[in-house]
Amino acid sequence: MSEVVLHGIANCDTVRRARRALEAAGVEYRFVDFRKDGLDAERLREWAMELGWEALINRRGATWRQLPKEQREALDEDSALALMLEKPTLIRRPVIEHAGRVRLGWGPENARALGAE
């Protein structure tokens, strides 16, 4: 099995759930914490190309709600990517890299694909 890389924030409930499921299933993975390890602009742009920049934005989180309404409404790809680099908690989590593919979020489909159902 190719390497599983789980990107997110350590204290995110969804990331914790994904990590527990992977560990319980014996799936080896590498965790990259946006806050501690940072995020490369090129990697973020690659994710946006594959998933769409709008899919990457976590519109349910406190960071999104704290943005001024004008800023939320004026987002385009470039400004959204710059904002996600500045405030990585805006990125929907986890972002999973595996087998040359990028997956977003944690649910039955991603768990199955990684052998952690």
Active-site option among 12, 39, 44, 83? 12
CATH code, domain with 39: 3.40.30.10
pLDDT tens profile 3-20: 999 999 999 999 999 999
pLDDT of residue 75: 93
Q: 3-class SS at 75?
A: coil
Q: What is the total count of domains within the chain?
A: 1
Q: Provide the token pair at 56.
A: 């990457």
Q: How many CB atoms lie within 10 A of CB 84?
A: 24
Cis peptide before 94 (omega within 30 of 0): yes
Q: 3-class SS at 57?
A: strand
pLDDT of residue 2: 79
pLDDT tens profile 56-113: 999 998 999 999 999 999 999 999 999 999 999 999 999 999 999 999 999 999 999 9
The C-alpha atoms of residue 29 and residue 56 are separated, in whole angstroms, by 21
Burial 17-50 (b: 16+ CB within 10 A, else e): ebbebbeeeebebebbbbeeeebeeeebeebbee
pLDDT of residue 116: 86
Domain that holds residue 75: 4-113
pLDDT of residue 1: 55
Residue with tokens 């965790």: 31
Report field, pTM of the whole predicted structure over 0.95: no
12 in active site:
yes
